[in-house]
Amino acid sequence: MIENAVPFPKTNGVPRLLGIAVALVLVAQFLSASPPAAASAGGHWNFSSNGQQSVKLADDGYLLVGSSASGSWTRTPFAGQKNKISSVIWDGKFFVATTYFGLYFSRTGSDWKFLSLPTGDSFSAGHIISNQDFFNSDAMNQQEIQSFFDSKVKTCTPGYVCLKDYSARTTDKPKTALCEAFVSQGRETAAKIIDRVARACGISQQVLVVLLQKEQGLVTHTWPSPWRFEKATGYACPDTAPCNAQYFGFFNQVYNAAKQFKRYTNPPGTTKFFTWYPVGGTVPVRYHPNVVCGSSPVRIENQATALLYYYTPYMPNRASAVSYSGSGDACSSYGNRNFWRYFNTWFASDKEFSNWGLFSNGSGVVVDHEGSALNVDLLSQKWSRSSNVPTSPQQSITAAGLGSSGGFVVERSDGKQFVFRQGLPWGTQSTEPLTAPGVSEFIATSVPVVSGEVVVGEALTVVVPEWDPQPAQFGYQWLRNGKLVGGATGSIYVLTKADVGKRVSVRVSGVLEGYLSTVTVSEPTVSVLAARVFVATSVPVVSGEVVVGEALTVVVPEWDPQPAQFGYQWLRNGKLVGGATGSIYVLTKADVGKRVSVRVSGVLEGYQNVKVLSSVTSPIAP
């Protein structure tokens, strides 16, 4: 439980990312002779150009630098894996590539620098991680953990063993009230140990991975000393005394940390000992091991957050919370702040928080979803606090863009818009369409039209009227009552039983390089009907002598509509006659004394299959 007295060191010259667990969406003023057309606000942009050089975000998330004209593109080192680059723009002086925790910027597209942005107060001391995320012991498997480690350290410094290549001997552990039995498999990789321990103790693999980073920086370290593995999770390492060597060793550290987290829950079979961070209660949480640094009252919102405080009983003070990738002050602690930061950076990209910013010629303002604003200067790589946009928990910032006058405008969830005024409070303005930065937009789009019979078994087809300009390609996603239909990504969709009673629509996205990707949605259909039923059917008639050796024939009077085909099954005293599936049946000795009938099924696409039974014959004579 080592509390990091200082932030972790830089990795490969780039500060480890801190900030809001959210996607930054930068809105930049594109300096050109003609202003961009109106667009829906708050979008992501994946292409920009300064007229000589272009930068775009590839499908795999990497930034590419090059030229559309030549078709030559070079990949930068910056990847858009989970929680990385979300958009790229040109602000008149810099290319700016946004990430969830800061931004990369470059004059030429090749000399990128990183700036971390400490916007707002998104660290919630009472809710550091959800219970679902903390106790999900199926969050990753061994292969996924190994791949994650490999992605964080491409090359280990010669003479050192990095976490991705590390292995350790494990030992048998009996089943207890805290963990299932753990049977040693000898020497096991770090990824395997983490996966197996997580499953045994019911703790998320992601939590254990983040713990290794929070305590010793092991996930990203390229030259870790052996002592880091000996004290990997900081278990039995109090802030006021030396670590207990009895618990040294990578496996011991991982296993005992997971087991201890489980112990904090006071499960059946244990005593109710850990009670001083009660869920729903408000308790003082200290800022630092030094008691003179004080504390702050925190309402503990869930069990997972309580567990983190039992393990590391400190919360970041203001200086620590807003420094993110830097140091705070003498009373700053970083353990739970770093846990929150790494978990959200690596594993929680779907959080509904966003930052928006306006940049022109290297300077601008960035606003987070809570309305906290920063003045940012890319030339000096400095920021300062700006006036905040008035928000509330029910009225957060949800969109941004350029107003009709070219000024920076943000929009709240209630539709109210605020315009940025340097050095002054944000001013309100009449609601207007906002424009996109640095890319062109389609002059005209169209609503896709769905055609076809809305009946199970029938095919619906989408027709997309002409756009201006015409996209290079369209993408399709069919929706059932507004929710995605898995795998339904073509221009044709065949209705299934799952659609009955639902309304079907299709979302069409137009993609063209240099243009803002745009999505339009068709009107929903009427409710889907089950397969239709035949208006009229008729009872089949069996004819022929009911004597062994004679042939019985079935005649089916006309149906409405007429089936595409009929199927037959002959019956003997109401039981199936094996192999008797034609319109003619020759009586055998087995039929003597029995009564014979035939079941006829009508089949027609789009109609429910119907089976009709004939009347029975008189008993068959020998």
Phi, psi (rounded to 5 degrees) for 4:
-70, 115
Please compute the mean of the pLDDT values over residues 499-517 and round it to a whole number. Answer: 80
At 324, list the tokens.
């993110």
| 565-607 residue pLDDT tens | 888 999 999 999 999 999 999 999 999 999 999 999 887 776 7
| 24-80 residue pLDDT tens | 333 333 222 222 222 233 444 667 776 677 787 776 667 788 865 566 788 776 654
Alpha carbons 64 and 55: distance in angstroms, whole number: 6
Q: With CA atoms as reference, report the closest residue to 220 among 466, 10, 439, 497.
A: 10
pTM of the complete model:
0.54
Tell me what pLDDT residue 440 has. Answer: 56
pLDDT of 536 > 80? The answer is no
Q: How many residues does the chain have?
A: 622
pLDDT band for 147, please (50, 70, 90 cuts): very high
Alpha carbons 368 and 24: distance in angstroms, whole number: 8
H or E, element range at 343: helix 335-347
Computed over every residue of the chain, the mean pLDDT equals: 82
Tell me what pLDDT residue 212 has. Answer: 98
Q: What is the DSSP annotation of 484-534?
A: E-TT--SSEEE--GGGBT--EEEEEEEE-TTB--EEEEPPP-SPBBPPB--
Q: What domains appear along the chain, each with residue ranges and CATH number?
A: 23-121+352-435 (2.130.10.10), 125-315 (no CATH), 449-521 (2.60.40.2700), 541-613 (2.60.40.2700)
Alpha carbons 254 and 200: distance in angstroms, whole number: 12
pLDDT band for 278, please (50, 70, 90 cuts): very high
Tell me what pLDDT residue 594 has. Answer: 94
| 329-349 residue pLDDT tens | 899 998 998 898 889 878 875
Which has more confidence, 394 or 14?
394
Worst-scoring range by mean pLDDT, 128-132, 372-376, 440-444, 483-487? Answer: 440-444
